[in-house]
Amino acid sequence: MKRAQQTRLERFGFSFRRGGAHISRTMMLDELTALLAFVGDPAADRSVYAYAIKAENCLGKRSFKTRQLTYGHLVDLYALAPSRLLFRALVYFWERDVAGRPLLALLCAYARDAHLRATAPFIREIPEGAGITRPDLEEFIEARESGRFSKATLRSMAANINSTWTKSGHLLGRVKKVRTRALPTPGSVSYVLLLGYLSGIRGKALFQSEYAKLLDCAFEEAIPLAEAASRKGWIVFKRIGDVMEVQFPNLIKPEEMEWLREQD
């Protein structure tokens, strides 16, 4: 991806920094769930989340330093700012699609964490029912970036990433994990379509993007879920044969539409 396109996507909340929270943490699904429930305001800005974590200790951390680190990791993973469409849309679907929350969190973290993105091809290629261990993922990461990480960092990162893919429903088990199929929902399919749309993809190709592949969902399975989301009023999805149009009137602000027109 060219740097100019990355810069445009960063305005929506995507991140292309080389590092990521998964060096020391998972996608922190439990913390995100508790934080959003505690704040309970989709319009709350980042300072509200910072105050909830650091001052009110809504996540029950033992020390102020741990609260600070937790806040930083959650910002890295999810932005925690409604000015960023990526987070605003996450909260929108989060409130409406409880069953889709694990995949919604994964999709947002995927768009912001380079380490998690890098392991997606490895996870997708594992056949359903096949086993995977932490050393398997360590070998994959080391092969991609030989010598970049110490053995301890590599071990920690692989364990964290395996845990994230487990939380999202792509893996099952504790020490030795087994590849399973994720469970897409109307909300997670809608979020996938939005991520692709922001990336400049249109029409049928939205169901074939890198984000769509994370759903473990065939095209024929995703269409009814998009139609269900459209009936609920979450998105606008129109289809005539292979001609498809998706719109997001509840999510994309006028100035963001201008950014997209510039991008097109």
Is 104 within a domain? no
Q: Looking at the predicted structure, is the pLDDT value of residue 264 above 80?
A: no
Cα(136)–Cα(182) distance, rounded to whole angstroms? 20
> Which domain, by its residues, includes 86?
3-96
pTM of the model: 0.96
Q: Which residues lie across from 35 on neighbouring strands?
A: none
- Mean pLDDT across the chain: 95
pLDDT digits (tens, 9 = 90+) for 65-116: 999 999 999 999 999 999 999 999 999 999 999 999 999 999 999 999 999 9
For residues 147 and 16, give the distance between their C-alpha atoms in angstroms, rounded to a whole number.
21
Q: Which tokens sit at 23?
A: 């060096």
Q: Is residue 101 part of a domain?
A: no
* 75 occurs within a structural domain: yes
Together in a domain, 83 and 36: yes
Whether the CB-CB separation of 190 and 203 falls below 8 Å is answered with no
In tens, the pLDDT along 114-134 reads 999 999 999 999 999 999 999
The pLDDT score that the predictor gives to residue 131 is 95
User: Which residues sit opposite 243 in a β-bridge?
Assistant: 240
Give tens-digit pLDDT for 173-182: 988 899 999 9
Burial class (CB within 10 angstroms; exposed 0-12, middle 13-18, buried 19+) of 96? middle
For residue 39, CA distances in Å to 44, 108, 135, 204, 260 come to 8, 19, 38, 37, 30
**Cα separation of 81 and 87, whole Å?**
6
Question: Do 163 and 200 belong together in one domain?
Answer: no
